[in-house]
Structure 1
Amino acid sequence: MNSKKFVFYASLAVSLGLISIGVFMPNQLEHFSNSSLNFIYNNLGWFILGSVFIFFAFCMYIGLSKFGHIRLGDDSDRPEYKTATWIGMLFSASIGISLVFWGVAEPVSYYIDPPFGKGSSEESAKLAMQFVYLHWGVSAWACYALVGVSLAFFQFRKKLPASLSSVFYPLIGDKIRGPFGKVIDVVVILSIVIGIATSLGFGTLQVNSGMNVLWGLPVNINTQAIIILVVTFIYVASTVSGLQGAMKHLSNLNMLLAFALLGFVLFLGPTQTIFKIFFQGVGDYVQNFVSMSFRTEPYSDGSWIASWTLFYFGWWIAWAPLVGSFVARISKGRTIKEFMMGAVFIPVLGSFFWFAVMGGSAIHLIQNMGETALATAVSTDVTSALFKFFEYFPMGVFLSILAMVLVLIFFITSANSAVFVLGMISENGNPNPAHKTKIIWGIVIAAISVVLIMTGGLAGLQSALVATAVPLAALMLIMCYSTYKGLKGELLLLSKETSKESEEQVVNIKKKPAAKKA
């Protein structure tokens, strides 16, 4: 077999093999995945929590220290995308679709069943926003930023292939091009394929649920298959057009629609209460960030932390190769400090405000307005939570349609970025992969999504993805050391170049002939 195609064929074969297990033995896969997940939660939860905190600390260190001025590229490079477009692409490629899905459902779920204390109370309302902010805050984005900054540095500054194995160059040198590097790339591709397939599967279920609420369309595999087919055609076509084309325009459209939806709910809903919830939530989050980040509940069964906090942190780690690779691709020319401030804090503030508007309004309706039917609807079916929430607003049908369009576009941009990253890694770090490779991965992802929905294997594969968080976390901890070593070597190189330039200037000054006296 052609060694240049090894990563592509090997990852494709493994992906299809695992999916076949999901097709023919979905119950066994789900049982194995859940067993693995329970083992991790009971024995290695502390490792996941500690790793995520280290990722955040490392990102802040290299962003605010002497490494911060290093540019992700040559010193003469400047950002390829405007900051607003760059931020829009960050959201579109990563958690945009998840924000829409969980914007109402998650805060209300925590309000009903808080991590501690009495549910459906004023205290549980505060705890709901506090823990939502923990799960979607700097901890999540630090996982993406770590992979993104590491890959961007080695790809654009050190001119290595756009592949995650390149990050380990300071430790193993040219072995990144050998079997070790290829194994890393295959594992990364596998996590990306499973991650994007499960995410798109959940997105399809939400769109189908919205269509059922609005127009009575049946919730079944036929409707869901048609949704996936239409979306697949769009995202494959947009991927082929390239980042400068459809991806850029779709990301900008995403942000406009998201702002429009936020604006409607903000001004049609309890505006003053939303701002109070936002500021209260941010304050509680900042005040309790460290204690929440290390909360393991050793004196109880820890089921809530396992079901939510550990699951989310594992999910962010599992998604880090995909989102980090894409973030690296669009961040050429930015300094590390600029990258960290933009890739960690700006998206976090946007996510916090989204949950304050959507989730905060929903809790207000239940807690202050007595609309307990909304809580019941969320408990019954999280996929329809957003659309049930809009029934309490003027122009509810319009808001639901706007939300579905937003989900579909996030759907497209998430798949778009995934297919692009899969193409890059499959072709040994080619920053502009062939259309054929991207089309193949686009079709594979769509097929996997349909198969998982048909067989009910979506939950099992989702658990399998999170179970990969432990080896990926270990790999990312090594990545921290490797990146630090690479950055330290770069500073030393820059220092030598500066000293050499200074010596040359002194020599040139001495060589200049003295001016003749008149």
Structure 2
Amino acid sequence: MYNQTQQGIFKGMNRAMSCIALGMVLGTVVLISLFGEASAQLMQAVRTGLNPLLEWYYVLLVAFLLFFMIWLGVGRYKNVRLGADGESPEFTFFSWVSMLFAAGTGVGILFWSVAQPILQFQANPFMDASVSDAEAAVIAMRLSFFHWGINGWAIFSFVALAMAYFAFRHDLPLTVRSVLYPLLGERVRGRWGDAVDLLAVFGTVFGIATTLGLGVQQMNAGLREVLGWADSVQLQLAIIVVIMTLATLSVVSGVARGVRLLSEANFWLSIAAVLFMLLFGPTQYLIGMTIEATGDYIQQLLRMTFHTNVTHGSDWQAEWTVFFWGWWLAWSPFVGMFIARISRGRTLREFVMGVLLVPTGITLIWIGLFGGTALYQELFQGGGIIAAVDADVSTALFATVKGMGLHPLLAQFVSLMLILLISTYLMTSANAGTLVVTTLLSGGDAEPPVAHRLLWGVCLTLLTAALLLAGGLHTLQAAVIAAAVPFSVVVMAMIWGLLRALHEERFSPRDGARSAAPVEPWMVEDAQDAQAASATQEGPA
């Protein structure tokens, strides 16, 4: 592990990193609490100032990651294993897929699966006055698929693969800094390494806080629709406290038990929700819409990947693509480490195909059914969804259920099940995120101290509450975009580090069968490093 303290309250943690991270988060909470309106205005100003840069910078970065991951999955390194040669995967395929999907996009897709198609249906730069309502609905679905599809999962999969490769194949600690070992050498143990992992922590905590904030607002909307509870900041704060308490207790039990069981539970709940929409919604329309929108998405993927705002003169890209790519980047250390932990033993081909295609396919079906139901109501059943979304984005899902014409008791039951699903996804994301933050701050320890997991559960609760108090959705979006920018620079360095390490894998046979891993010259830069490496076979401690 990297620089673990051996005694005191920070035993098992990197003391310097923990103090800086705690100071950063608690300082942010205090500033936002004391100067809420000014803090919200500042974050919005930062977002506005960054948009012109990010409208092309994020486009190029995400496009490169997509093509880079496809190359890793089908190219010369596809048979390299994330672990020892011949090692079997730690989890079954079903458990693996359910965990990576639940921790990756579960909360966000519940929030946006109805709201985004409806908002895109009203206005986007890819349609004009000559487009019919039916064509506009397909375009809206395509754009929703784009922001939740393979491009975003390319970000997650790259960070996960890079960390898993260095952790399981070269026995380095499971942290972001380990990916830069080919570039920094032993300096990853010092301040440079600390700085890299702190940037990962910075992006992670704001990414989690954004997701939790969106989920809490949606739960509040659901409780209002079902139980008649009024919207209030106090209720939202109570929800986040309950969710984070349960999540923090769950994460103490570890990935193999608590997180896995919770992930599989909400995976089955998700399947039930999808089947309900398919059977009780406009089935023929939903199947046709999902198929047509998927084809449109595949055909237009290259164009959308490289779309910039320059030729359209609107703020659509800043409001949507910049936000979503920033959100995926901010979440990538958290989701990446979690996916890495559950992916030991898989080849690069299995990993890339699984992480890129399976969650993307599930996401397209989910948005196709939920978003398609909302669009059908708007097109053929008198509308009402647009008005609900424009009034409060967080009500979109429940307004759609209400508009399905179900028996009142059935509609209420379904809404309650969706509230339960939101809560389980929130807990899955929160407990995985808490574990990831403490793993980074402990120098890569897969089982960081329980006391610090509890402490960071409290810190994430406070940060989420502060951001909600400061202005809700727009403040959450601005915070995550700003937090993602520094880590995006680390991502580019990680690409270089992974390529340099994979260069030594060129000696492996094409069928993946290898007798021994090659000597990695990047691990030993001079005679002193060579002596240190021979004395410590498992890499930096």
C-alpha separation in 1, matches of 2:243 and 2:515: 56
Distance 1:384 1:500 in 2: 56
Distance in 2 between residues matched to 1:340 and 1:300, nearest whole Å: 34
Tell me the residue number matched to 2:455: 440
Mapped to 2, the partners of 1:364 and 1:239 lie a distance apart of 40
SS of the counterpart of 1:170? helix
Question: Is the contact made by 1:55 and 1:143 (CA closer than 8 Å) also made in structure 2?
Answer: yes
| Equivalent position of 2:337 in the other structure | 325
Assess if the C-alpha contact under 8 Å between 1:113 and 1:120 holds in 2.
Answer: no
CA-CA distance at 1:500 after TM superposition: 9.0
Structure 1 residues 454, 43: closer, same or farther in 2, change over 3 A?
closer
SS of alignment partner, residue 114 of structure 1? coil
Q: Report what 2:401 is aligned to.
A: 390
- Paired with 1:220 and 1:404, the residues of 2 have a C-alpha distance of 17
Is 1:429 the counterpart of 2:444? The answer is yes
- Asked if structure 2 preserves the Cα contact closer than 8 Å seen for 1:30 and 1:461, the reply is no
1:48–1:470 CA contact under 8 A, matched in 2: no
> Is the partner of 1:67 in helix, strand or coil?
coil
| Cα distance in 2 between the residues matched to 1:15 and 1:364 | 44
Pair 1:379-2:394 in alignment: no
CA distance in 1, matches of 2:473, 2:109: 19
Is the 2:196–2:490 Cα contact (8 Å) retained in structure 1? Answer: no
Matching of residue 479 in structure 1 with residue 494 in structure 2: yes
Q: Which residue of 2 aligns with 1:342?
A: 354
Q: Deviations over 1:429-470 (max 9, x none)?
A: 111111111111111111222232234366335313212333
Question: 1:291, CA displacement in angstroms?
Answer: 0.9
Aligned equivalent of 2:63: 53
**TM alignment of 1:183-262, pairs within 5 A:** 183-262=195-274
Q: Which of 141, 164, 171 is residue 176 of structure 2 equivalent to?
A: 164
Q: Distance in 1 between matches of 2:467 and 2:56?
A: 31
Candidates 171, 179, 191, aligned match of 2:191: 179
Task: Supply the distance in 2 between the matched residues of 1:108 and 1:457 (Cα, whole angstroms).
Answer: 20
1-structure distance, mates of 2:514, 2:231 = 65
Task: After superposing the two structures, state which structure 1 stretch, 274-283 or 469-478, moved more.
Answer: 469-478
Q: Contact (CA 8 Å) 2:218, 2:395: kept in 1 or not?
A: yes
The CA distance in 1 between the partners of 2:315 and 2:465, in whole Å, is 31
1:479 Cα offset (Å) = 1.3
Q: Any conservation in 2 of the 1:27–1:457 contact (CA below 8 Å)?
A: no
Q: Is the 8 A contact 1:378 1:384 kept in 2?
A: yes
1:415 aligned partner: 430
Deviates more, 1:481-490 or 1:93-102: 481-490
Residues 289-334 of structure 1 show CA distances to partners (whole Å, capped at 9, x for unaligned) of 1111111131332311111122211211121111111111111111
- The answer for the alignment partner of 1:512 in structure 2 is none
Distance 1:91 1:372, change over 3 A: same
Using the TM superposition, name which of 416-425 and 33-42 deviates more: 33-42
Q: 1:374 Cα deviation (Å)?
A: 1.7
Displacement after TM superposition at 1:349 (Å): 0.5
**Paired letter, 1:383:** S
2: CA distance between counterparts of 1:4 and 1:187? 15
Cα distance in 2 for partners of 1:206, 1:498 equals 51
Determine if contact 1:419/1:438 at 8 Å carries over to the other structure.
Answer: yes
| Offset of residue 179 of structure 1 | 0.3
1:488 and 1:274 mapped to 2: Cα distance?
47
Conservation of the 8 A alpha-carbon contact between 1:196 and 1:418: yes
Residue identity in the other structure for 1:342: G
Which residue of structure 2 aligns with residue 314 of structure 1?
326
Aligned-partner SS, 1:248 = helix
* Percent of aligned pairs with the same amino acid: 31
Please, which runs of 5 or more residues in structure 1 have no aligned partner? 502-518
- Aligned mate of 1:41, from 26, 45, 51: 51
CA distance in 2, matches of 1:224, 1:4: 33
Q: CA deviation at 1:230?
A: 1.8
State the TM-score, normalizing by the size of structure 2.
Answer: 0.89
Superposition CA RMSD, Å: 2.0
Runs of 4+ in 1 over 4 A off after TM superposition: 497-501
Considering fraction of residues, name the structure with more helix. Answer: 1
User: Larger C-alpha radius of gyration, 1 or 2?
Assistant: 1
TM-score by length of 1: 0.92
Number of aligned pairs? 499
Report the secondary structure of 2:78's partner residue: helix
Question: SS of 1:296's equivalent?
Answer: coil
